[in-house]
Structure 1
Amino acid sequence: MRFNTKLLTLFLDPISTQYYSISDGERVNIVLSPSLYWVKKISLPVKYARDAKKLLPSLFEDTLPEGNYSYSVYKKEDEFFIFAYEDKIILDAMSKVGISLSNVSSVHFAQSEMQGIEGAVKINESQSIYVKDDMLILVPCCWIEESGNLDMSELTLSKHKVVLQQYAHIVENSSLYKIGAVLVVLLLLVFGEYLITLQKTSEVRELKDELFTKNKLKPTMLQNKSMLKKYKTIHEKQTKLREYTSYLLSLRLQGSEKLSKLTLKDKTLDAEFSGASEVTLSRIQNTLKSKKVKFTTEIKNNTLHLEMLL
């Protein structure tokens, strides 16, 4: 039942003082007065309205005063009816008489909807409309001797609708084109940077593969890190072994004292000094402590046993 209900059709004229009280959720159709748009009837070397729409700005170029316009077109037989209108002016006229865009079901030009009127029809206190050569003409009432009253109740609307852009007046189309051009340039720059990054990544992969093959490395970074850790541990141990051996060999021993044994056992370096005295033990301990070497000592049977942690 809701879809079969016929919607109220209102005539929108900027001069009219009539105010409409439309409840929330109520839907209405709007027919625009000729004073809210510019219209031409022309012949064009194109077949379809969609092809003609591309030509509209240039066709109105010398006609329109300065403003931010939208365009519409429909074809009737072999001729095109082309329209230019300012969305903001129409929206302001709707707001003035109490019509919200959220309550509007469809918007139409009077040119396409009122071809069937007979004689002249008065649309406000000072203006009337009538049809001549398929064009809806707007004239002062004083030019017409007799004018009927406007009746929208029996009007059957056509499929020719007007699409209003609520924020079209904020940014002009030329500005939108400029913004779009900048975005396209930025997109191309980002895409170019992406391609360069892909190429560099590919080159790095090739160099890595070449390096791995040349040095007989493992195929994964995890394996190589594990191997690196292992060799670092070995390197540290070998470095300490050389340092500690150097310390031992550089010790000043007395007469009968000598380094009689040097043994490497896993993580320790063991040394034995035969004939070592307490004085020699103290000197060795002080030397190793100054080098921050972890060690333990023991004198047994006149032999100094020294154990250093690598």
Structure 2
Amino acid sequence: MKFNAKLTTLFLDPNSAHHYSISDGERVNIILSPSLYWVKKISLPLKYAREAKKLLPSLFEDTLPEGNYSYSVYKQEEDFFIFAYEDRVILDAMNKAGISLSNVASVYFAQSEMQDIRGAVKINEAQSIYVKDGIVVLVPCCWIEESGDLDMSELTPSKHKVILHQYAHIVENSSLYKIGAVLVVLSILVFGEYLITLQKTSEVLELNSELFAKHKLKPTMLQNKSMLKKYETIHEKQTKFREYSSYLLSLRLQGAEKLEKIALKEKTLDAEFSGATELTLSRIQNTLKSKKVKFTTEIKNKTLHLEMVL
């Protein structure tokens, strides 16, 4: 049984200068060169491969250079074959070889598909692969006296497919899980805060209603604010009236000078002084200027007319 009579099987090696020409809609299988992954053959006190998956990062901890890795494992007889690979490196090699991910049906390790080859097989101008102690290894051609050509036509597919994560080089899966967990926690906290805010808002509105009813206020906050602004204006006007009146009453008048009248108008406080002279005018002006009062003055027939802005 061959891989699939309808599918072409391609060997992907980043050190090969071969560029594949794949037509639109064509589907191909890919076998990864040993240079595209790390592999170990180990014994573990476990029964199933799925039990070993969570151990893979630690099993490669002292082996791998810095990078973002995905991991895979399968069990063969009593041994476990564990793999580490960088999705980005494989996807870049596919792109360089002219292979679009949309044209790929399945991806396999050379380890799982070529472990039964006899002798050495040349995969590029400088390198060959052969099996040593059950591991498909990559060696320089000059180390091997005889190397056959790579023939993919008789290979039988295994069930050990490689899963490529197209965006694994941007964010690691573990990071995605952590980010997802943080977002879930934040969502719960925000929703809880929202419910608490709704409850507090309801309590405040209820207290407002009780307070408005108790003090016979307007039914809405907007009406009460408008009323408050009105009374604040009145208070400010009355405060200035008392202050300015005290200035007038405390003036030291001389001779025939006499305060005849004080009148409160809409925006001003008016006063009249009889027996006023230019000296009276100057003295009153200096006093009010020292108090920073806005005013206007006029003398007619020895009567000083004073208007202060409230």
TM-score over 0.5 for the pair? yes
Give the direction of change, closer, same or farther, for the CA distance of 1:197–1:5 in structure 2 (3 Å limit).
farther
Secondary structure, counterpart of 1:57 in structure 2: helix
Secondary structure, counterpart of 1:54 in structure 2: helix
Secondary structure, counterpart of 1:188 in structure 2: helix
Q: Provide the residue aligned with 1:254 in structure 2.
A: none
Give the direction of change, closer, same or farther, for the CA distance of 1:47–1:203 in structure 2 (3 Å limit).
farther
Deviation sequence 1:240-282 (CA, Å, 0-9, x none): xxxxxxxxxxxxxxxxxxxxxxxxxxxxxxxxxxxxxxxxxxx
Q: Is 1:56 aligned to 2:64, yes or no?
A: no
Distance 1:58 1:198 in 2: 48
Q: Provide the residue aligned with 1:171 in structure 2.
A: 171
Q: Provide the residue aligned with 1:157 in structure 2.
A: 157
Give the direction of change, closer, same or farther, for the CA distance of 1:190–1:154 in structure 2 (3 Å limit).
same
Shift of 1:155: 0.9
Q: Provide the residue aligned with 2:29 in structure 1.
A: 29
Shift of 1:156: 1.1
Q: Provide the residue aligned with 2:292 in structure 1.
A: none
Distance 1:194 1:77 in 2: 57
Q: Is 1:121 aligned to 2:96, yes or no?
A: no
Secondary structure, counterpart of 1:137 in structure 2: strand
Shift of 1:102: 0.2
Shift of 1:170: 1.4
Distance 1:201 1:5 in 2: 70
**Partner letter of residue 155 of structure 2?**
L
Shift of 1:5: 4.1
Shift of 1:6: 2.9
**Partner letter of residue 50 of structure 1?**
R
Distance 1:46 1:194 in 2: 48
Q: Percent identity between the aligned chains? A: 83
**Partner letter of residue 96 of structure 2?**
K
TM-score, length-scaled by structure 2? 0.61
Secondary structure, counterpart of 1:55 in structure 2: helix
Q: Provide the residue aligned with 1:108 in structure 2.
A: 108
Deviation sequence 1:214-249 (CA, Å, 0-9, x none): xxxxxxxxxxxxxx9xxxxxxxxxxxxxxxxxxxxx
Q: Provide the residue aligned with 1:72 in structure 2.
A: 72
RMSD of equivalent CA atoms:
2.7
**Partner letter of residue 180 of structure 1?**
G
Give the direction of change, closer, same or farther, for the CA distance of 1:194–1:79 in structure 2 (3 Å limit).
farther
Give the direction of change, closer, same or farther, for the CA distance of 1:144–1:5 in structure 2 (3 Å limit).
closer
Distance 1:107 1:93 in 2: 13
Residue correspondence of structure 1 range 1-310 to structure 2 within 5 A:
5-173=5-173, 175-193=175-193, 196=196
Shift of 1:95: 0.7
**Partner letter of residue 53 of structure 1?**
K
Distance 2:79 2:196 in 1: 54
How many residue pairs align between the two structures?
209
Q: Provide the residue aligned with 1:304 in structure 2.
A: none
Distance 1:89 1:24 in 2: 24
Shift of 1:190: 2.5
Secondary structure, counterpart of 1:15 in structure 2: coil
Distance 1:203 1:41 in 2: 67
Shift of 1:65: 0.4
Shift of 1:113: 0.2
Distance 1:8 1:175 in 2: 36
TM-score, length-scaled by structure 1? 0.61
Report which stretch shifted further, 36-45 or 186-195: 186-195
Give the direction of change, closer, same or farther, for the CA distance of 1:51–1:198 in structure 2 (3 Å limit).
farther
Deviation sequence 1:117-159 (CA, Å, 0-9, x none): 1111111111111112211111111111111110001111101
> Deviation above 4 Å: which 4+ runs of structure 1?
197-204
Secondary structure, counterpart of 2:21 in structure 1: coil
Deviation sequence 1:19-73 (CA, Å, 0-9, x none): 1110010000000000000000111222211111111111111100011111111
Distance 1:192 1:74 in 2: 45
Shift of 1:15: 0.7
**Partner letter of residue 15 of structure 1?**
N
Shift of 1:172: 3.3
